[in-house]
Homo-oligomer: A and B are copies of this chain.
Amino acid sequence: MITIYDIAKNVGCSSATVSKALNNYPDVNAMTRKKILDMAESMGYSPNSQAQALTKNKTWNIGVLFETESEIRNGFTHYFFSQILESFKKYTEERGYDLTFVSQKIGENKVSFLQHVRRRRCDGVIIANYDYNDQNVIELIHSKIPVVVIDFDNDTVSSIFSENYEGLKLLTQHLIDLNHHDIVYIHGQRNYVTGERIRGFEDTMKANNCEITEEHLVESAYYNRQSIADKTRLVMARENRPTAIIFSDDYAAVLGIKVIQELGLKVPEDISVVGFDGLELGQMITPHLTTIVQDTRMIGEQAAKRLTEIIETKNRNKIDISVGVELLEGASCKRV
């Protein structure tokens, strides 16, 4: 690898001048600048970002913490979060940052997430879809490093949310408008997001004088095929089966529909089904899924915007950003 010293030697100047020419400093003669730039070009010079990071104390690197509590679909393969990450990546790349996945190992050493991020001197970290109870994550959130989280309620770092309450309100109202009164919500594990959604569900039910008992709330493990199938079958086997099911997400809804179909029943003729997320998946099956579309592009972009802002202003102020949702009417619901 060739260095600025090599260039300096060939041009006949000092390394300082080369550095200045390369970095558009004003105090270098136009002629020398050109000679240096040409020489750099012809020698195939490539600045060493490590050396630069060392002096500038900025790596242009953003750490990504991106896993899942589920064993089934994790990391990149997660239908929903991969979309957010893709959008996040696009925005940060434009800003000149690279994304580095933070793991628990560097070279030969086992490290905590915080240690990893600090070793790599990441300028900031985005956390999504991680187990927020993980001691490692907590440690990271409470560090001095710029952090933005997605879908996680906390009082230290900025976070991005979809309007979960609103989403469930829209879904529930939609079903009620179709004359459904007996609606079961198969939701995910209790956490902040789920809490908000349940609240939206309950409030809307009550506001429309629909009875709501514990029968109407069923918990299922997130992105867990077995659990989703089991819970769906359980609900379908009830003697007074509901007329509609709200699934925790599109993935669950699509699986649920499959289970229902395998039971010899039809959606929406025998039961109405809605999801949440707005995955392409939901539109690839028959019937098209009615669902809430989360604006993943916007979520990723807002997360990126907020994170780069924190990095560049050093102001870690907690700001919560809420991203709007939208009802997408498919063909999985029917008026009763």
Which chain A residues have a beta carbon within 8 Å of chain B's beta carbons? Answer: 1, 46-51, 53-54, 59-61, 73-77, 79, 82-83, 85-86, 89, 93-94, 96, 98-109, 115, 118-121, 254-255, 258, 261-262, 280-281, 284-286
Residue of B whose beta carbon sits closest to that of A72? B280
Residue of B whose beta carbon sits closest to that of A101? B99
Do residues A120 and B106 form an inter-chain contact, with CB atoms below 8 A? no
Do residues A105 and B94 form an inter-chain contact, with CB atoms below 8 A? yes
Q: Which residues of B contact A60 (CB under 8 A)?
A: 106-107
Do residues A101 and B89 form an inter-chain contact, with CB atoms below 8 A? yes
**In the complex the two chains form, what is the Cα distance from A80 to B120 in whole Å?**
30
Do residues A76 and B76 form an inter-chain contact, with CB atoms below 8 A? yes
Do residues B284 and A261 form an inter-chain contact, with CB atoms below 8 A? no
Do residues A49 and B281 form an inter-chain contact, with CB atoms below 8 A? no
Q: Which residues of B contact A85 (CB under 8 A)?
A: 76
Q: Which residues of B contact A89 (CB under 8 A)?
A: 75-76, 101
Q: Which residues of B contact A109 (CB under 8 A)?
A: 96
Do residues B101 and A96 form an inter-chain contact, with CB atoms below 8 A? no
Q: Given A103-B98, A118-B46, check contact A77 B82 (CB 8 Å).
A: yes
Of B46, B96, B105, B108, the contact of A105 (CB 8 Å cutoff) = B96
Write the nearest CB–CB distance from A310 to chain B, whole angstroms.
Answer: 18
- Mind listing 9 A-B residue pairs with CB under 8 Å? A48-B54, A60-B106, A61-B100, A75-B89, A76-B82, A98-B101, A98-B103, A98-B106, A262-B286
Write the nearest CB–CB distance from A156 to chain B, whole angstroms.
Answer: 19
Do residues A284 and B75 form an inter-chain contact, with CB atoms below 8 A? no
Do residues A118 and B284 form an inter-chain contact, with CB atoms below 8 A? no
Residue of B whose beta carbon sits closest to that of A57? B1
**In the complex the two chains form, what is the Cα distance from A75 to B108 in whole Å?**
29
Write the nearest CB–CB distance from A105 to chain B, whole angstroms.
Answer: 5
Additional A-B contact list (5), CB under 8 Å, known A60-B106, A82-B82, A284-B285: A49-B119, A49-B121, A50-B121, A96-B109, A281-B284
Do residues B93 and A86 form an inter-chain contact, with CB atoms below 8 A? no
**In the complex the two chains form, what is the Cα distance from A76 to B128 in whole Å?**
14
**In the complex the two chains form, what is the Cα distance from A329 to B49 in whole Å?**
51
Q: Which residues of B contact A75 (CB under 8 A)?
A: 82, 86, 89
**In the complex the two chains form, what is the Cα distance from A118 to B45 in whole Å?**
9
Q: Which residues of B contact A286 (CB under 8 A)?
A: 258, 261-262
Write the nearest CB–CB distance from A217 to chain B, whole angstroms.
Answer: 25
Q: Which residues of B contact A119 (CB under 8 A)?
A: 46-49
**In the complex the two chains form, what is the Cα distance from A281 to B101 in whole Å?**
26
Residue of B whose beta carbon sits closest to that of A120? B49
Q: Which residues of B contact A1 (CB under 8 A)?
A: 118, 121
**In the complex the two chains form, what is the Cα distance from A132 to B89 in whole Å?**
22
**In the complex the two chains form, what is the Cα distance from A103 to B96 in whole Å?**
9
**In the complex the two chains form, what is the Cα distance from A102 to B99 in whole Å?**
8
Q: Which residues of B contact A118 (CB under 8 A)?
A: 1, 46
Closest 7 CB pairs of A and B: A76-B82, A46-B118, A93-B103, A50-B50, A50-B53, A96-B107, A49-B119
Q: Given A96-B106, A106-B98, A286-B261, check contact A77 B73 (CB 8 Å).
A: no
Q: Which residues of B contact A94 (CB under 8 A)?
A: 105
**In the complex the two chains form, what is the Cα distance from A7 to B75 in whole Å?**
38
